[in-house]
Structure 1
Amino acid sequence: MSEQRKTTYPGGFPAILTQMEGRRDPFTYYDGEALAPLDQDLQALKQVTMQAAAPELGDSRSGYARKYRALAEEFDGQPALLHLHGLLVAHLRRRAQPDHTAALFQRLWAEEAEYLLARLDARWLVSAATTFGDHGANEVQRSVGHALSVLFGMMKLYETERLYSAVPPEQPHPWRKKSSKHLAMQMDAFAVGGAGGLDVNMLGRLWQQGSEDPVIAPLVQRLLTLLVDDDKTVFRRLHIMRARKEKQRQAEGKEGKVKPGRSMPADRQKITAPVPQRRADRAGRPLHWGVVSLIKAPVREILEFAAYHIDRGAHQLHIYLDQPDPEAEAILARHPRITLTVCDDAYWDAQKKPRMKTHRMRQVWVATHAYNTTDCDWLCHIDVDEFLLPASGVSVADMLAAVPGDQLGALLQPAEMLQTGASAEAEAFKLTHLAAGHKRAVLSEIYPNFGTHLPGGFIGHISGKLCLRTGLDGLRFGIHACHWQAAQVENIEVLSGSYLGHAHAPDWAQFRKHLDFRMTRGSYQRQEDNDRLQMGDVVDLLLEEGGEDALRRFYEEMNGGGDAQRAALAKHGMLVDYPLHLSARVVRVFGNDAKAYL
């Protein structure tokens, strides 16, 4: 019965192995020919340019010479170091090679990884990974090399077959009934529209394992970054299909259909809101701007937040204390530009509603209340750990006055504060790659282990905050957006050059202090409808595998703020040096009595 069994490859695995081994005969050499020695001067090879004709070989027809010439044609006009790399890969695919071949390949990647990554295309990088799989110096190199070889080999097979579907590689399939419930060998299909994590787990584990070895790590991270940034892969197509399905699901509601008389959820609709005209009684005065914030924080942080924005020219601060704080109240209430509201039980009773359960709901409530009562022309809704950072030489009022007249508001992109170290007046902030106009690949250069796991390389939010023109009836202020007539307002100008400084975790102590809350009730809670690797997942994995030391190393890589990190950020235009001078501003705004809290 086994003789009658149909197989894809006639002759079975004996035939497969025969065909494979037939291509692995060692190269032959003629007299005087030899592979470069182990102590070859690699720097010198960078200065030598390859010629397609390879005149240095004369008329030799050895196996070595034929491969040498083929590679010389491919690397014509390029440095000989790349040609040597190709020769090493070719030799290491054979059953035998000079004794030092693998060691020279290892030396090349240990000493010249940056040079090779900058000049070799993805095809050669995959070949290098395959070579590590066969000739790695340790288990990590061999394991990761083999895994990458299989991954990219299978991609080449199925992407080639997909070409015959006449559908461009960047175009995902439409949502429709699947042709079968099961895949080959009775495997269940990947949950495209659900919480399938196969892709994330596979790529994430490769990244983590590859990062354990310093020689192969740069190659692994470059290949995986190229993979996730390419829009012509199954990973990108499935991501687009998943996003479309989620949008459709939310539009249709839990029952799967749009109910009669009901519209789409407000956060899925977009609307261009009318821009209110400036009131006549404000026409002859300078532009007034203000801030609204619901705050629960130590007195020092409250005073620093308030003093900074008053000193920058805020006309009015609408501060809502989320719970009574007599010390903070005593200082804040005395300042004429602060409208202080204590959100105690009496306050919520006066609103004729119970105190809302979540901090976010209370934030939206007080922000909208302040919007409807302020006498400012513009109102910015931000948190106590956030600071408006207008561009150098520009005031906040000038920044807002420059917003086009058809835009209801301005979105300030976040700049995340780096650890400041010993100097309290040396604040600097980092930008996302998008804010600086870069592709995602730049993150792996700045944060080699964790950058591409986090949106924008940030450990805080990347959504930014809004400043809005006041006077639009019915507007509802949100956290990162605003709504009018049950739809999200879309005529919002995204500012460039001015940012929202976010002191999310300005030092290790602050990061660790707030971590448990953020993991259980705050911004690090896992969003179950998102199967991508999230901040909470990263923290859980770090604590599980390496404990507090691993978590501390993570923080230092992402927000350490050392000279090397700042230089890397500056190189890509992602560093914003912006001293806040908070202590001096507190004394200037609130007087010497406030020094006791600094």
Structure 2
Amino acid sequence: MSDTSAPTYPGGFAAILTQMEGRRDPFTYEDGEALPPLDVDLAPLKLARVDGRALSVEGSKSTYARKLRELSQEFDGLPALMLLHGLLIAHLRRRTAPDHAGPLFLRLWAEESDWLLQRLDARWLVSAITTFGDHGATETQRRLGQSISVMFAMMKLYETERVYSGADPTRPFDWSKRKIPPLAMQMDAYALAAGGLDVNMLGRLWQDSDGDPVIAPLARHLLDLLIADDRTVFRRLRLMRQHREKAQKAEGIRPRRGHAAPSAHIPVPARAVARDPDTLRWGTVSLVKAPLARIAGFAAHHLDMGAHRLHIHLDEPHPEAAAFLSRHPGIEVTTCDATWWSGQKKPRMKAHQLRQAWVATQTYHRTDLDFLAHVDVDEFILSATALTPALANLPADIAAVHLPPAELLAGTTDRFKLTPHHAGQEKAVLEDIYPNFGGHLRGGFISHREGKLIVRCGIPGTRLGLHALLLNGHPASNRLALPDVILGHAHAPDWDTFQQHLAFRMTQGSYRKTDDEVLGLRDILELLRDEEGEAGLRSFFTEVCEGTDRLMQALDAHGMLVRAPLDLDQKIKRVFGAIPKG
């Protein structure tokens, strides 16, 4: 068993330097052995061919002769100038070298860069840029050479390690596996969607090469080779980013700042417009995985407020729930088991958000409802008046109704909080309402702030995301909110529920870090968990989520408190006759 407290290199940097310097002993020479002079004519060396036998040093035991024989075999039959280039690099890697070795190396690149770039492979070009870092004549040559050299050295280390993972270097990892252990040296992980570390590093190197005409051709050629190669971390991260953007586009969820698709007006055909409140029909679609009692409460609430049909999809088999819910004529229950997925056009997706979007879209295009709300099992449409007449009176060109979110305060069944934006308040009020954490909470919420939609059915070519109606990847701009109609979200109704879902939500749900956050919700929760354990998380939950007198008074003072009794038990009894167990 290894001692994890021991340094990576026993003996520390003293041992590292000893090992490094042991490989840098100067070359030894026998009589007649030497590098060509600084003013050597380079033209004949481009025409002469290397003899792999290295007859000029036959029988010599000097280290120079050993290196010459080694390089002669490598460049056998190739132009002698390539051999000279290799010899100069080999000399300049030693502690000392002939005085003219550095100037001759720089002369080769000043006079023959195009010729060298056409013939040297990438390995020798990287060696050349490293040599510029150690022996460049200008600050730009040394700085750029060292920077590019370190980058390629680190690539060699981690790409070698990747070989042992068995992973194909051209194949990106699965970005959906977001459980990332802490990085070394307390570094933040690269932000996959909008991270700029790669382009900032490569772009800076490209710009720096403008500062010196001798190193510029070599530096830019290497950087061009780098971004053209499909076996690098840069390409893999780019593919991961593209796959992620494609998946999120399909989901219609959590658009990132600066990366969201522009909204567009989605045409509404005349046949999709229902005007008669006596015949207009609306309902919901959901993919759920929850205890039967929770599903029953969700269903009873929406049936009680006038929904004509609930399309409930069970994300995994739940025979008791299927039997109980199916007894009501207004509920269509679908069990999304392996048999069901085998009949779909796509295999079962790993990400639950993708499954939700798929189920919602398929339902949207087959339902005979006039309006369909895509909501989760812990979300409740709240309306002060009947919803059907309001939908019937919508302007004909409106494709969707936006349901702004309101978070249920934990420990209550009738108190919800709004975001400052929805209440017409400035964002700064969050620090008054949540004195310890308000500065880092977007909207004061721990769940989504996008809200959900009730979409008009019968619009061809559209699909549903979690928070959007999409046409060709563009979310509908022709939507509006109805007065006093919101989405009550029982996201964390109590401490136990918060704890139970914490790990999942930090990696795959609403707590995960967004790419433009410096210090986001996930960072806060991780810090509290690591530093203070359960007590720290509990203090956060109490201040932000619990319906304490202090919080309700603060919300009420800013017009951000909503009273809307759910009365789920009573609704379940009215709709189903009895409250189910489980």
8 Å CA contact 1:440, 1:452 repeated in 2: no
Q: Distance in 2 between matches of 1:498 and 1:406?
A: 20
Alignment counterpart, residue 290 of structure 1, candidates 273, 283, 290 = 283
Q: What residue number does 1:26 align with?
A: none
8 Å CA contact 2:410, 2:493 repeated in 1: yes
- Deviation >4 Å, runs of 4+: 278-284
Indicate how the Cα distance of structure 1 residues 562 and 454 shifts in structure 2: closer, same or farther if over 3 A, else same.
same
8 Å CA contact 1:276, 1:470 repeated in 2: no
8 Å CA contact 1:420, 1:428 repeated in 2: no
- TM-fit CA distance, 1:283: 5.3
User: Which amino acid in 1 is paired with 2:379?
Assistant: E
Alignment counterpart, residue 265 of structure 2, candidates 272, 275, 295 = 272
Indicate how the Cα distance of structure 1 residues 490 and 254 shifts in structure 2: closer, same or farther if over 3 A, else same.
farther
Question: Does residue 447 of the first structure (1) align with residue 430 of the second (2)?
Answer: no
Where 2:372 maps in the other structure, the secondary structure is strand
Question: Does residue 400 of the first structure (1) align with residue 391 of the second (2)?
Answer: yes
Q: What residue number does 1:303 align with?
A: 296
8 Å CA contact 2:289, 2:315 repeated in 1: yes
Q: Over the residues paired in the alignment, what is the CA RMSD in angstroms?
A: 3.0
8 Å CA contact 1:413, 1:495 repeated in 2: no
Query: What are the equivalent positions in structure 2 for 1:131-530 lying under 5 Å apart?
Result: 267-278=260-271, 285-390=278-383, 392=384, 394-420=385-411, 426-527=413-514, 529-530=515-516
- TM-fit CA distance, 1:271: 1.7
Q: What residue number does 1:573 align with?
A: 559
| Residues 521-564 of structure 1, C-alpha deviations (whole Å, 9 max, x = no match) | 3222234x334222111100111221111110110100111122
Where 1:544 maps in the other structure, the secondary structure is helix
Alignment counterpart, residue 519 of structure 2, candidates 533, 545, 565 = 533
Q: What residue number does 1:79 align with?
A: none
8 Å CA contact 1:420, 1:427 repeated in 2: no
| Residues 260-318 of structure 1, C-alpha deviations (whole Å, 9 max, x = no match) | xx9xx895133211123346998584321100000001111110000110011000100
Q: What residue number does 2:568 align with?
A: 582
User: Which amino acid in 1 is paired with 2:333?
Assistant: L
Q: What residue number does 1:42 align with?
A: none
- TM-fit CA distance, 1:453: 0.5
Q: What residue number does 1:129 align with?
A: none
Query: What are the equivalent positions in structure 2 for 1:80-99 lying under 5 Å apart?
Result: none
Q: Distance in 2 between matches of 1:269 and 1:437?
A: 25
Q: Distance in 1 between matches of 2:304 and 2:513?
A: 38
Where 2:411 maps in the other structure, the secondary structure is coil
- TM-fit CA distance, 1:403: 3.3
Which structure 2 residue ranges, 5 or more long, are not aligned? Answer: 1-139, 141-146, 148-194, 204-236, 251-259
8 Å CA contact 2:277, 2:388 repeated in 1: no
User: Which amino acid in 1 is paired with 2:499?
Assistant: R
8 Å CA contact 2:273, 2:396 repeated in 1: no
Q: Distance in 1 between matches of 2:264 and 2:492?
A: 35
Where 2:455 maps in the other structure, the secondary structure is strand
Identity of aligned residues (%): 47
Q: Distance in 1 between matches of 2:314 and 2:529?
A: 34
Indicate how the Cα distance of structure 1 residues 532 and 494 shifts in structure 2: closer, same or farther if over 3 A, else same.
farther
Q: Distance in 1 between matches of 2:360 and 2:577?
A: 28
- TM-fit CA distance, 1:500: 0.4
Q: Distance in 2 between matches of 1:581 and 1:278?
A: 37
User: Which amino acid in 2 is paired with 1:446?
Assistant: I
Q: What residue number does 1:104 align with?
A: none
Q: Distance in 1 between matches of 2:313 and 2:542?
A: 34
Q: Distance in 1 between matches of 2:273 and 2:441?
A: 47
User: Which amino acid in 1 is paired with 2:315?
Assistant: D
Alignment counterpart, residue 548 of structure 2, candidates 551, 557, 562 = 562
Where 1:435 maps in the other structure, the secondary structure is helix
Q: Distance in 1 between matches of 2:371 and 2:359?
A: 16
Task: Tell me whether 274-283 or 318-327 shows the greater mean CA deviation.
Answer: 274-283
Where 1:493 maps in the other structure, the secondary structure is strand
User: Which amino acid in 1 is paired with 2:453?
Assistant: L
Where 1:466 maps in the other structure, the secondary structure is strand
- TM-fit CA distance, 1:407: 1.4
Where 2:416 maps in the other structure, the secondary structure is strand
| Residues 184-223 of structure 1, C-alpha deviations (whole Å, 9 max, x = no match) | xxxx9xxxxxxxxxxxxxxxxxxxxxxxxxxxxxxxxxxx
8 Å CA contact 2:289, 2:314 repeated in 1: yes
User: Which amino acid in 2 is paired with 1:398?
Assistant: P
8 Å CA contact 1:321, 1:341 repeated in 2: yes
Q: What residue number does 1:61 align with?
A: none
Where 2:498 maps in the other structure, the secondary structure is helix
Q: Distance in 1 between matches of 2:375 and 2:279?
A: 23
User: Which amino acid in 2 is paired with 1:443?
Assistant: L
TM-score by length of 1: 0.53
| Residues 46-86 of structure 1, C-alpha deviations (whole Å, 9 max, x = no match) | xxxxxxxxxxxxxxxxxxxxxxxxxxxxxxxxxxxxxxxxx
Where 2:301 maps in the other structure, the secondary structure is helix
Q: Distance in 2 between matches of 1:352 and 1:493?
A: 33
8 Å CA contact 2:365, 2:458 repeated in 1: yes
8 Å CA contact 2:277, 2:389 repeated in 1: no
Q: Distance in 1 between matches of 2:371 and 2:547?
A: 33
Q: Distance in 2 between matches of 1:452 and 1:399?
A: 37
Where 1:429 maps in the other structure, the secondary structure is strand
Q: Distance in 2 between matches of 1:280 and 1:563?
A: 46
| Residues 479-526 of structure 1, C-alpha deviations (whole Å, 9 max, x = no match) | 011211332221111344321000000111111111111123322223
8 Å CA contact 1:413, 1:463 repeated in 2: yes
Alignment counterpart, residue 551 of structure 1, candidates 510, 519, 537 = 537
- TM-fit CA distance, 1:345: 0.7
TM-score by length of 2: 0.55
Q: What residue number does 2:92 align with?
A: none
Task: Tell me whether 348-357 or 278-287 shows the greater mean CA deviation.
Answer: 278-287
User: Which amino acid in 2 is paired with 1:277?
Assistant: A
Q: Distance in 2 between matches of 1:486 and 1:281?
A: 26
Which structure 1 residue ranges, 5 or more long, are not aligned? Answer: 1-180, 182-187, 189-240
| Residues 227-254 of structure 1, C-alpha deviations (whole Å, 9 max, x = no match) | xxxxxxxxxxxxxx99xx99xx9xxx95
User: Which amino acid in 1 is paired with 2:543?
Assistant: E
User: Which amino acid in 2 is paired with 1:384?
Assistant: V
Q: What residue number does 1:157 align with?
A: none
User: Which amino acid in 1 is paired with 2:343?
Assistant: A
